[in-house]
Structure 1
Amino acid sequence: MDTAPTPFRPPAPTPRTRPPSMLEMIRIIYRNPLELWGEPSYNEPWIVVNGVGGPLVIANDPGLIRHVLVDNAKNYKLATVRQKVLRPILRDGLLTAEGQVWKRSRKAMAPVFTPRHIFGFAQPMLRRTLAFAERYEQEDGTVDVSQDMTMLTFDIMAETLFSDEIAGEPGSFGNHIEHLFETMGRVDPLDILRAPDWLPRFTHIRGRRVMAYFRKIVTDTVAMRIERMQKNPNDVPEDFLTLLLRAEGKDGLTRQEVEDNIITFIGAGHETTARALGWTIYCLAEAPWERAPIEAEIDAVLESEPDPTKWLERMPLTRAAFEETMRLYPPAPSINREPIEPETYKTLKIPARAQVLVMPWVVHRHRKLWDDPNAFLPSRFHPDNREKIDRFQYLPFGAGPRICIGAAFAMQEAVIALAVLLSRFRFDSVAETKPWPVQKLTTQPQGGLPMRVTQR
């Protein structure tokens, strides 16, 4: 008798059975916030906690999430703690800007991410992935898939959004980005306590050198493009960088805002996709019964359909594996808001200045929303099952006005990358493959993803 294999349950912190002390909480938030959440977080529609920094509301109910992010979004600003973590890195980039600055930036970037432009990026995405794959043909042994996916998505971004005109050496980029998020991309204990800004954050002090590295990349990149625009204005690519620079002016972006948005996409825009790709390859390696039909799907589509713009639609199993991985390891594991005015949702009273946390990590594993939530089951996202998933119980790209502007870009990029890599190679875990999810700016695998690569 045929029996279905036991689903793979990738590593994740065990929910706490008792609340932490204040000292424990600060230590956990600094080390790895994913280890903070207890049993109620995975069972209740919302939780209210009176913390040292003020009231805290953990929102798990899809209706409440919709209320905060969409229906009454005007009453919510980006949370103070989140801004203290991200603004030192991204300043007035799209992820951290608010008000008119955010509106100007979003308007300036919108033309780059229309469906027409996204489809136009498909061939460069394919070209860069094919070139990247050549290195694996020379490999003999173990590679760090996590770092490699960071490099691949950097290569893709460099060509599609910046026409290959990013200053600096991409070879050192992976190490620098990891160090940046290790130092500056995490909550400092003083931020939890809402200490005044003039008190130095020692976590940030350690990251100043790498932050200067990224700022220099941005300054040099902008200078290169301005020089090209001045020398031959009729021979300038209509890419992300050019559109941002053309949006400069009295009613548009300032030069600082242009640079902030460039560093947002260089430092964070590709990092989320890179992490999700690495985790997907890892999950498939640990669940070969899920990998086999995906390899068959990819082989069949590549044999009959050369146009990569069609792959996302024609590879539903591949897409489902990527989406299921983003459920288990959401690239952006927290969405933080703060109400401007107090309000009530059903029986929940939300005071002004409360921290409202929508945690995709928790919502995506909530026991009232998902069957067997800790298991890797791509079938949840197969076409026949997708309608069962509430729009606000699955939030890999956020929701509402601030939904990720690059979501379609990322989905197309991911499926193209997986199609090329999985059609040529098989990735398998080795004894050293023992990743542990850690929340920094993204959900990162502590210890990397060392894996054996062999040609299929």
Structure 2
Amino acid sequence: MLASASPFVPPAPVPRTKPPSRFEIIRTVMRNPLELWGEPSFRLKWMKTKFFNERTLIANHPGLVRHVLVDNAQNYRMATIRQLILRPILRDGLLTAEGETWKRSRKAMAPVFTPRHARGFAEQMLAQSQAFKDRYVAAVDSNSGTGDVRDIAVDMTELTFDILSATLFSGHVAGSEEEFAGDIERLLSTMGQVDPMDLLKAPRWIPRIRRMFGQKVLDKFRAIVKQTMDDRQKMMRDEPDAVPEDFLTLLIRLHHPAGLTLDEIEDNIITFIGAGHETTARALGWTLYCLANSPADREKVEAEIDEVIAREPDPVKWLDQMPWTRAVFEEAMRLYPPAPSINRAAITDDSWQDEKGETVTIEAGTTVLVMPWTLHRHTLLWDRPEAFIPSRFLPENRGSIDRYQYLPFGVGPRICIGATFALQEAVIALGALLSEFRFDCVAETKPWPVQKLTTQPEGGLPMRVSRRQGNASR
């Protein structure tokens, strides 16, 4: 038995029992694509359907997922709709680049994102988390011990931005950091959503009304990134001994004939900001929300954090020594995957056969959807898939989870290059915050998962932040 008989079941759309009409598809995709999927998507190994007369395969069998994303990945390009949404923002960043551009960029950047480099940023992650915790101390103590009600979704966005700024830029951002953080939020809220023209696969030169409002902030955002890069290059020329060894410096050093162009470095910085900052922030918010509704798991996490911090001050070691803390974060990413869909399109005809001899054919041009949203909640793959059961991710239980049924960071050649960084960041942030505070739901805490670029809590996450009993002087 992995958990108590009545684990917390967090909110999620109820799978549809009948296919939506064409109008319902458009309306649902524009409002919240997570509400589109029907009951068969959560119980069948795969299913074929049509989406605006386009052949679509939903892949839920781990072996089929492996075939598409790993074993025969060269036969699958990025799906058109996905690129229409993301390329205007990210251009040739790792998430959207294809072909030789992607291969060259991935090869050049792989040494930058090694576990060794991630470990090198652990102290900065802890320092930023501690500084953020101090702000909580001031807010909570000013309320005479009753706690402070805050939107945790906003707070986690601010915390992960602080960590990103410290590790990516060493805090050296052209202009105001507050303005920069606000521009990130406006950029993602205006540019990262499906437009009706995307569904119709209209050419890129046809304006997307929804995104036109975001173009101005995108231009401003890119100008800030470019100026920050220019400032750093000048420092590298004029004051080499003062140059910080952060990600910006490491990336700029990749600017050479066999490496990256300055435009590609700019595209990837923007990709890291969007992918690394936003996804980790959302996952942290959902983790704190789920823990608030699962007191037994919260107590285990608190006890673990207290024990580890008391004997091990080095945050580099926390990821390995805090299995419960890591497990609650991974379970939150299962239920609310930061990237809820992975879209590919078949270049040539293909087929795959499962262990029972059943064959699925994949015609050229077919869109293949590997959706962590359905995969992570699939009835054939998970025990009580709708429930928050962190113990399934403890080391002794992980062997029952197939590598290709849990994809918070993707898989295969295009797996998230910053996965180790994100996991380390999350455990350090949770360790710092939960060593001092408890996060509890209030009457207004009624989040609803909505897919934009990430799985976001519509209505935010208003929660009461209070000192843990006996920790007022910690």
Fold-level similarity (TM above 0.5): yes
Q: Which residue of 2 aligns with 1:359?
A: 371
1:44 matches 2:44: yes
C-alpha deviations, 1:313-366, integer Å up to 9, x for none? 111111110000000000111111111111111221111121111000100000
- Aligned residue for 1:24? 24
In terms of mean alpha carbon deviation, does 439-448 or 203-212 score higher? 203-212
Tell me whether 25-34 or 210-219 shows the greater mean CA deviation: 210-219
Q: CA deviation at 1:224?
A: 1.2
Q: Look up the equivalent residue of 2:131 and give its one-letter code.
A: A
Contact residue 147 and residue 174 of structure 1 kept, 8 A: no
Partners in 2 of 1:253 and 1:314 — Cα distance? 37
Cα-Cα RMSD: 1.4
1:396 aligns with 2:408: yes
**TM-score, reference length from structure 2:** 0.93
Alignment of 1:215-234 (within 5 A): 215-234=222-241
Alignment-derived partner of residue 189 in structure 1: 196
Matched AA of 1:238: E
Contact persistence 1:17–1:38 (CA under 8 A): yes
Q: What is the deviation of 1:5?
A: 5.9
When normalised by structure 1's length, the TM-score is 0.97
Q: Once the 2 structures are TM-superposed, how far is the Cα of residue 216 of structure 1 from its aligned partner?
A: 2.0
**8 A contact 2:157–2:281 mirrored in 1:** yes
User: Are the counterparts in 2 of residues 437 and 445 from structure 1 also a CA contact under 8 Å?
Assistant: yes
> What stretches of structure 1 of length at least 5 have no aligned partner?
none
Q: 2:393 aligned with 1:381, yes or no?
A: yes
How far residue 242 of structure 1 moved from its aligned partner, in angstroms, is 1.8
Q: 1:257 aligns with which of 264, 271, 296?
A: 264
AA aligned to 2:452 is: K
Q: Unaligned 5+ residue runs, structure 2?
A: 354-358, 469-474
**SS in structure 1 of the partner of residue 435 of structure 2:** helix
What is the CA–CA distance in structure 1 between the aligned matches of 2:362 and 2:436, rounded to whole Å? 52
Deviation at 1:214, TM superposition (A): 1.6
Show the counterpart of 1:77: 77
Letter in 1 for 2:434: L
Q: Secondary structure at the match of 1:451?
A: strand
C-alpha separation in 1, matches of 2:373 and 2:294: 21
Bigger Cα displacement from structure 2, 156-165 vs 39-48: 156-165
Q: Are 1:452 and 2:464 matched, yes or no?
A: yes
Q: Is the 8 A contact 1:105 1:253 kept in 2?
A: yes
Change (3 A) 1:343 1:190: same
Q: Compute the displacement of 1:94 (Å).
A: 1.0
Counterpart amino acid of residue 458 in structure 2: Q
Q: Distance in 2 between matches of 1:293 and 1:250?
A: 52
Corresponding residue of 1:372: 384
Q: Give the Cα–Cα distance (whole angstroms) in 1 for the partners of residues 267 and 190 of structure 2.
A: 19
1:200 deviates by 1.1
Query: Structure 1 pair 174/447, CA: closer, same or farther in 2 (3 Å)?
Result: farther
For 2:175 and 2:311, locate their aligned partners in 1 and report how far apart those are by CA, in whole Å. Answer: 39
User: Structure 1 residue aligned with 2:288, among 281, 284, 287?
Assistant: 281
1:369 CA displacement:
0.5
Matched, 1:240 2:247: yes
Conserved? CA contact 2:306–2:435, under 8 Å: yes
- Rate the CA distance shift 1:93–1:434 in 2: closer, same or farther, 3 A: same
**Is the partner of 2:438 in helix, strand or coil?**
strand
Q: Give yes or no for contact 1:283–1:325 (8 Å, CA) kept in 2.
A: yes
CA distance in 2 between partners of 1:436 and 1:170 (Å): 30
**Distance in 2 (alpha carbons) for counterparts of 1:445 and 1:170:** 25
Could you tell me how far 1:130 is from its partner in structure 2? Answer: 0.4
Residues of 2 paired with 1:373 and 1:385: CA distance?
15
- Matches of 2:47 and 2:399, distance apart in 1: 27
| AA at the equivalent of 2:306 | D
CA 357–4 in structure 1, closer or farther in 2 if over 3 Å, else same = closer
Q: 1:53 touches 1:194 (CA, 8 Å); kept in 2?
A: no
1:51 CA displacement: 2.3
Aligned 8 A contact 1:188 1:203 in 2: yes
Does the 8 Å CA contact 1:53/1:192 hold for their aligned counterparts? no
Contact 2:180 2:221 in 1 (8 A): no
**Percent identity of paired positions between Structure 1 and Structure 2:** 63
Select 2:318's aligned residue among 299, 311, 314. 311
Deviation larger for 238-247 or 277-286: 238-247
